Amino acid sequence: MTEKHLSSQFDSELTSICSKLMEMGGLLEIQIQNAIQALAQFSIPLADEVIQTEDRVDMMEVAIDHALTSIIARRQPAARDLRLLLAISKITTNLERAGDEANKIARRVKSIVESASARKMPIGDLRLASGMAITLIRRALDAFARLDLDTAVSILKEDDLIDQEFKGFTRKLITYMMEDPRTIGDSLNLLFLAKAIERIGDHAKNIAEFIIYIVKGTDVRHSSLTHIESVVQ
């Protein structure tokens, strides 16, 4: 993952913190997957599992931050190492937030399962977007492990697709609400669900931006795609 340093101890510390981050990423992938499966199958046990595991994600974030502080204080890293450590810190935050979104989905699923009317709403339409969100997070983590710029750029491009799905779904919910005001409560529940899925896509996009930052040293947040592509080449 990184080039060799004079101190092999430092090397192993960097590898270990990357492994910790990937472990947190792995847990988070399962969290999102379970949350979305709970939604597709209206499964309360699965939703409960997500809500219970949320604590573990939070604890991992704290542990990674602690390790980061210790490394930066003792090693005073520079250049690429510093960028890597900073990016890990930011990626951890993004992962934790994506975990929060999974938690939110699980909670909404529980309230939807309990109300009979909500189950008649077009929940199936969320399947495509949720599948894309899972894939984006997985590819973002893969790209981090491989420091793969091509994948990072393609994630930035694909996040737009989720946004489009979200807009389409919102329009559909509006027609439901206009046809029958009794569905407003359920529609709002679904809207929050869709928003949570869309946010997971955004977090994947942020992770992709930090990968470019680690490799190229350029902060590409809030830049246009054409600018990012010129940086990567």
Contacts to another protein by CB under 8 A: 1, 15, 18-19, 22-23, 25-27, 29-30, 33, 127, 131, 135, 138, 141-142, 145-146, 148
Choice between 37 and 170, CB closer to another protein: 37
Closest separation in Å from C-beta 165 to another protein: 15
Closest separation in Å from C-beta 16 to another protein: 10
Closest separation in Å from C-beta 215 to another protein: 14
116: which DSSP letter?
Answer: T
164: tokens are: 């489009």
110: tokens are: 């529980």
Closest separation in Å from C-beta 157 to another protein: 19
For the chain, state the CA radius of gyration.
20
User: Between vectors from CA 95 to CA 197 and to CA 133, what angle results, nearest 5°?
Assistant: 30
Choice between 121 and 134, CB closer to another protein: 134
Closest separation in Å from C-beta 73 to another protein: 25
Choice between 105 and 189, CB closer to another protein: 105
CA 69/CA 89 separation, integer angstroms: 10
Closest separation in Å from C-beta 76 to another protein: 25
Q: How far is CA 143 from the centre of its chain?
A: 13
Backbone angles phi, psi at 122, to 5 degrees: -75, 65
Closest separation in Å from C-beta 36 to another protein: 10
Choice between 11 and 65, CB closer to another protein: 11
Choice between 1 and 82, CB closer to another protein: 1
**HSE on the CB side for 218, CA within 13 Å?**
12
Choice between 169 and 189, CB closer to another protein: 169
Backbone angles phi, psi at 134, to 5 degrees: -60, -45
Burial category of 102 from C-beta neighbours within 10 Å (exposed 0-12, middle 13-18, buried 19 and up) = buried
- Residue 22 belongs to what H/E stretch? helix 8-41
Choice between 30 and 178, CB closer to another protein: 30
121: which DSSP letter?
Answer: S
